[in-house]
Amino acid sequence: SQQGEEDPQALSIQEGENATMNCSYKTSINNLQWYRQNSGRGLVHLILIRSNEREKHSGRLRVTLDTSKKSSSLLITASRAADTASYFCATRGSNYKLTFGKGTLLTVNP
Amino acid sequence: EPEVTQTPSHQVTQMGQEVILRCVPISNHLYFYWYRQILGQKVEFLVSFYNNEISEKSEIFDDQFSVERPDGSNFTLKIRSTKLEDSAMYFCASTPGQGGAGELFFGEGSRLTVL
């Protein structure tokens, strides 16, 4: 079983619309993080939410965490063409490693 | 702004050859990682390194792989005898204290192509 599975796998929207991506996980976590990856580039950290937090905001990003359902969502408001990228959730348990999901490919059409 | 740097950006090698991928983590960071991403697939954990030793490794990180921090600044990943299936993008990452629980700072990756 996979820890950190995003859905949808791909999402295509128009500029100005909101984009919502979901992540589910299976084991208990210390925190959950979202990363962005432009094609062929490294991953860039977007936001971290701790297991005792329910919601967090950063600019146009809003992350929610529901530990009872083992799920998280990332909302990007007022999307721009430059938001086109893959978005990954990653979970950290009690150990050192961060476990990534398969990602959502977001395409924002101008 | 400090960043994680990786070299080479792209390496092509023949099957069976040894490869060393190099990383310079951010200077005051304490936890170091290697991840890999096969084209179009998920980002997979390979190994974490803290206090000059491996703290955790995945099933992928078998005897063909090793890591080293030889001089207090570089962090290397060695693949002793490359296989075709080692072709992937390899990412180095680092994080400061907090028990390694914070955000990871990734390099731009080293693309390894095994022929």
Q: pLDDT averaged over consecutive 10-residue blocks of chain B (115 residues)?
A: 92 98 94 93 92 93 94 92 97 84 92 97
Question: Number of helices and strands (H, E) in chain B?
Answer: 0, 11
User: Is there a contact between B107 and A45 if contact means CB atoms under 8 Å apart?
Assistant: no
* pLDDT digit string, tens, across residues A45-82: 999 999 999 999 999 999 999 999 999 999 999 999 99
Q: How far apart are CA A73 and CA A85, in angstroms?
A: 16
* pLDDT digit string, tens, across residues A2-43: 456 778 889 999 999 999 999 999 989 999 999 999 988 999
- Identify which of A34, A17, A38, A16 has the alpha carbon closest to the alpha carbon of residue A25: A34
Type of residue found at B2: P
Residue A101 confidence (pLDDT) above 70: yes
Nearest CB among B44, B91, B103 relative to A45 is that of B103
User: Is there a contact between A42 and B106 if contact means CB atoms under 8 Å apart?
Assistant: yes
Query: What pLDDT is recorded for position B99?
Result: 67
Chain B residue with Cα closest to A105: B40
Query: What pLDDT is recorded for position A2?
Result: 41
User: Is there a contact between A44 and B35 if contact means CB atoms under 8 Å apart?
Assistant: no
Nearest CB among B45, B103, B108 relative to A41 is that of B108
Q: How far is B79 from chain A (nearest CA, A)?
A: 20
Burial of A41 (0-12, 13-18, 19+ CB in 10 A): middle
